[in-house]
Amino acid sequence: MAGKRVIVVGAGIIGASIAWHLAKAGAEVTVIEAGQPGGVATRNSWAWINASWGNPEIYFRLRTRSMAEWRRIDREVPGLEVSWCGGLTWDLPPDQLEAYAVEHSAWGYGIKRVDRAGALRIEPNIKQPPDFALHVPEEGKVEPLAAALALLAGAEALGATVLRGSPVKWLEEKHGRVVGVCLNDGVLHADEVVIAAGAEAGSLLGSIGLSYDIGAPAGLLVHSKPAGEILHTLLQTPEVHVRQTSEGRLVAGADFAGTDPADDPRGAATALYQKVQDMVVGAEQVELDFHTVGFRPTPGDGFPMIGRPQDREGLYITVMHSGITLAPAVGLFATAELLDGKRDPLIAAYPPDRLLKAK
């Protein structure tokens, strides 16, 4: 239904994508962001777009669909600049790597097996090339903060309003229906409220008595100073996952989800960057610049929460890890459900209420 008034709480990659898709479909959209747009997890993400190992086929299908949707929005939204640079992976023992290749190839994922010479042809700057690795040319990356801001600018160009520095204090309810949000200067009403507040979603939903199993593990990434082109792909090695940004920084974590900073983030960053320098030719000459710690919105079973709670009208929940990969599909599917009542089969397995905690 075009013209529906929708509030989107949170301007990370998920809120920005939903806002853009809703505005494009004709909804009257207000995005409300507590801080500066660009998210908490989003701006600190490794931002690998993928459908890699470790997930069941049903989730693989959602991820590959979203990879295709990245190509669509990349054509439509100025400034997204997705780089389909491919991934080079050997972060599993060879037998498990082979099992992943067999399984995902059967599902249609474009995996190529490469030997040591093949790995070096793709990434000449690996110091200790593996005997066996997998190359997935169809994987990609974005600069996550820039992508979220580009989607938000696109939403504004389509008529959406963005309120910055405006925390939602609680959700406003009337007769069992969410009718708006309470801000510092009063209540803003809407036909629908979308929660895209990342790791903070739990506390907002708590304001109307809904308690979900959502975690927020910390993930530390190191960022080098900008350098000339050293890496071409996203590298996933047993020691470190590392890629290079569009401005030339090497960005790495123990894996894509970042390193546990424990109680010594600076020490963790130094040790991690040493591994990057041990892995990549040319990194020895590039200094570590800074590290970031992001909090990953993580539903209790590891899969996304997308949809309406059963007993509360006017409310739509979106909380997930791999939100960079999933943002375009979530924006598309949430819009179809919010405006036309159509729930895409690819998100049927992810109703939020499966993670409701018993009272």
Ligand X SMILES: Cc1cc2nc3c(=O)[nH]c(=O)nc-3n(C[C@H](O)[C@H](O)[C@H](O)COP(=O)(O)OP(=O)(O)OC[C@H]3O[C@@H](n4cnc5c(N)ncnc54)[C@H](O)[C@@H]3O)c2cc1C
Q: Which residues bind ligand X (CB under 6 A)?
A: 9-15, 32-35, 39-42, 44-48, 167-168, 196-200, 204, 219, 221, 253, 256-258, 294, 296-297, 320-325
Q: How far is the CB of 129 from ligand X (least distance, A)?
A: 23
Taking the alpha carbons at both ends of the chain, their separation in whole angstroms is 35
- Spell out the SS3 assignment of 218-240: EEEEEEECCCCCCCCCEEECCCC
Identify the DSSP state of 7: E
Q: Which CB atom, from 259 or from 277, has the smaller least distance to ligand X? A: 259
CB of residue 10 to ligand X, shortest distance in Å: 3
Query: How distant is the alpha carbon of residue 179 from its chain centre?
Result: 28
On the CB side of 152, how many CA atoms lie within 13 Å of its CA?
A: 27
Cβ(52)–Cβ(59) below 8 Å: no
In contact, 136 and 5? CB cutoff 8 Å: no
54, 71 contact by CB (below 8 A): no
Cβ proximity of 119 and 133 under 8 Å: yes
Pairing relationship of beta strands 218-224 and 250-253 according to DSSP bridges: antiparallel
- Nearer Cβ to ligand X (181/230): 181
Closest to ligand X by CB, 46 vs 60, is 46
Distance CA 152, CA 38 (A): 9
CB of 21 to ligand X, least distance (A): 14
**10 or 129, CB closer to ligand X?**
10
Q: Give whichever of 115 and 170 is closer to ligand X, judged by the CB atom.
A: 170
Beta carbon nearer to ligand X, 102 or 161: 161
Q: Compute the least distance from the CB of residue 193 to ligand X, in Å.
A: 11
- Best CA proximity match to 93, nearest among 140, 42, 130: 130
Nearest distance from residue 176's CB to ligand X, in Å?
Answer: 22
Q: For 6, left (φ over 0), alpha (ψ -120 to 50), or beta?
A: beta
